[in-house]
Copies of this chain bind each other. A is one copy, B any other.
Amino acid sequence: MALHDVPTLHGGCGDCPIRHRAVCARCDTDELAQLENIKYYRSYQAGQTVIWSGDKMDFVASVVTGIATLTQTMEDGRRQMVGLLLPSDFVGRPGRQTVAYDVTATTDLLMCCFRRKPFEEMMIATPHVGQRLLEMTLDELDAAREWMLLLGRKTAREKIASLLAIIARRDASLKLRDASKGPIVFDLPLTREEMADYLGLTLETVSRQVSALRRDGVIALEGKRHVIVNDLGRLLEEAGDDSDGGFLV
C-alpha cells in the first residue's frame, strides 16, 4: 500500500473534478470546509492493490481520477469482479471496519480519503452527506442488479456487447457528445482477463467474442484496446437490451 508521488493537487474542493457528482455533491460551503479538514489524497499505480478483502480500513474514499475494481475470489481461485469504480464513486462502508472485496487500481488512481471516524460523525451531524450517499448506493444497487441479469442470462456475445455499450455510453456522456450520431471512439480500460472477470467468462472466450463482433462489423478495432463504435444502436441490439433502456453511468 505504498504511496508514490501525489500528483499536483488543486487548490481546494471548489476546483475538484468530481465536486458535483461525489458524496460531497450536496454539501454547502460550510460542510465542504468540514470535509476538507478530514480529507487527504492517496494515489496508487496501475495494478496496485488498494485494499485486500478482510483488511481493516481506517478511511472511506472517493475516486477522483482513474479506475478501480472490486473483486471477490473463491478459495480455488475463481474470481468475479463485482464493481467497477469510476471517478466520483465511493469506496468503503460507514459503520463497518473491514472491507468485503479486493479493491485494485487498474489505471493510475487518485483517491480523496476521509478518516473514518470523523466522517461517520459528520454523517450523523449533517444530513447532506448521508442523503447523497444513499442516492449513490441506490444507483449502485440498480447497476448491480442490471449486472445480475447479464451474468445469469446473457450469452457470451451479449455480455461483451453490453460491456462495450456501457463504456461507450459513459465515454460519450463524459465528452458531452451526442451518442446517437457519429462514431464513438474509446480505449478499453480493462485487459481481456479483467473483462473476463467482470463478465463471468474466460479470457479466451472474451477474445473470441471481441473478434467475432469485429468480424461482423459491429465494432472496429485499432490495436487491441482502441474501439470504434459506428452504430451504437446496432451494438445495443447485440447487447440484448431494450433499444434505449438502461442507465447512464
A-side residues, CB < 8 A to B, are 70, 72, 74-76, 78-80, 82-83, 93-95, 100-101, 123-124, 127, 130-131, 133-135, 137-138, 140-142, 144-149, 151-153, 199-200, 240, 242
Give CA–CA (A79, B75) in the complex, Å: 30
| Cβ contact within 8 Å between A153 and B74 | yes
| Cβ contact within 8 Å between A130 and B134 | yes
| Cβ contact within 8 Å between A152 and B74 | no
| Cβ contact within 8 Å between B151 and A70 | no
Q: How many copies does the complex hold?
A: 2
With A95-B135, A130-B127, A130-B130 known as contacts, the answer to whether A75 contacts B151 (CB < 8 A) is: no
Closest to A242 in B: B75
User: Across the interface, which residues of B come within 8 angstroms of A142, CB to CB?
Assistant: 100
User: Across the interface, which residues of B come within 8 angstroms of A144, CB to CB?
Assistant: 141, 144-145, 148
Give CA–CA (A93, B139) in the complex, Å: 10
| Cβ contact within 8 Å between A74 and B149 | yes
| Cβ contact within 8 Å between B93 and A149 | no
Task: Among B137, B140, B141, B149, point to the contact of A72 (Cβ < 8 A).
Answer: B149
Task: Among B123, B137, B240, point to the contact of A141 (Cβ < 8 A).
Answer: B137
| Cβ contact within 8 Å between A148 and B95 | no
User: Across the interface, which residues of B come within 8 angstroms of A152, CB to CB?
Assistant: 80, 151, 199-200
Task: Among B100, B133, B199, B240, point to the contact of A74 (Cβ < 8 A).
Answer: B240
Tell me how far the C-beta of A238 lies from the nearest C-beta in chain B, rounded to whole angstroms. 13
Closest to A201 in B: B152
Most chain B C-beta atoms within 10 Å of own C-beta, residue among A130, A148, A242: A148
Beyond known contacts A72-B146, A82-B149: 5 more, CB 8 A cutoff: A72-B145, A100-B142, A124-B127, A127-B130, A148-B151
Task: Among B80, B133, B141, B153, point to the contact of A140 (Cβ < 8 A).
Answer: B141
